[in-house]
Amino acid sequence: MPRQIPLGQPTVGQEELDAVKAVFESGWLSGAGPACKAFEEEFAEAIGVPSALSTSNCGSALHLGLMSLGVKPGDEVIVADYTFPATGHSVMWAGAKPVFADVRPDIWTIDPQAAEAAITDKTVGIIAVDAFGQPADYDELNVIAKKNGLWVMEDAACAAGASYKGRNAGDLADVSAFSFHGRKGITAGEGGALTSSNSELIEHARKLHTYGIAPALTREGATDLPVPSFDELGYNYRLSDVAAGIMRVQLKRMPTLMAARNRAADQYRELIGDLEGVTIPAALSDRTHPYQSYVLTFDREINRGAVAMALRAEGVGCNFGTYASHVQPLYATDVVCEVSADLFKRQLAIPMHAELSEDDVSYVAETLRKVMADQSVRAL
């Protein structure tokens, strides 16, 4: 049996177990408790914003952000097309219409010109996606938004540890949403966070994420018996304190984890950067790439499916990159995003995580070279 190199693998150990034990011993395991409060403070400090809100996942963070921004039925929100559909779904959850805009062919983030061209009198905002972690063009997007009276949201699902022109992901737009899913750079298996420099927006989201009332922790230590009342429809979007305990450890690990991913990316660049038929990811010099995924783009004559099956047969985990949203049946749109549709057909993610050894990366590179040398993968 060949060696197995998984596509993704979390870095967890005794420190995370100790953190879970501490939460168990505290007696508060449910959401929005002391561990969540501590993590939110630490995450906000790491990002450089005044406040953060922990959530059950990134989709719930996106939805809360939209609701706190006042998105309502009849509104249109411009959405980067090349993304996991949680981005477009969140707009629909808010009752609004996602309008998809094409992406740059080099770094796969929303094309500011395409975003501007999609603005109508119903547009209220733009959601940019930090594709596989690399931030979008926020200077240009914020100028466009300001000129047209719109807000900008950063889908930073993959971008923990990233930066853009010296500013951290999570502080690049009016509001930002993160994911702590198992394949992300820092993870509790699931979870998310919402960040903003607008503390009032975060506090509104905090109310909405607990069914429309303040979390129970805010009533701890009261001298009477406070009974909250419900005046706004909310949701159960809280992160558990068990997950928050894990995230506090993961946040401390983040610099080391990001460095390990960048070392693997550097090694891939050295070993397969010249491989015919394959283009490796571009990393722009004015932003820090956290490499949540390492995504290859194959030439059009390459049979991506054949490459994937051959890699998996040799124990190399791989999968398609992400989705061209506008072609998904759910959205039923006439919009055409040619770049995104093309990337959807030609991209493949190969192993990228902090547990990759130099020998692992070498094995992946050697296996890919062997597979690409087989003429059968060039027969469409």
Residue 280 DSSP symbol:
P
Concatenate the DSSP letters of all residues of 48-59 into one string.
Answer: T-SEEEEESSHH
Going by C-alpha positions, the residue among 150, 124, 141, 245 that lies closest to residue 191 is 245
Q: Tokens 């080391």 identify what position?
A: 256
What gap in Å lies between CA 135 and CA 35, rounded to an integer? 29
At a CB cut-off of 8 Å and minimum separation 6, what does 166 contact? none
HSE-CB of 207 using CA atoms within 13 angstroms: 15
184, 252, 345, 370: the active-site residue: 184
Output DSSP code: residue 237. -
Q: CA Rg, the chain, in Å?
A: 21
CB atoms within 10 A of CB 97: 18
- Using CA atoms, how far residue 119 sits from 66, 110, 126, 145, in Å, is 17, 14, 9, 10
Q: CA-CA-CA-CA torsion for 107, 113, 118, 123, nearest 10 degrees?
A: 90
* Spatial separation of the C-alpha atoms in residues 309 and 103, rounded to whole Å: 28
97 among known catalytic residues: no
CB 177 within 8 A of CB 192: yes
Active site residues: 184
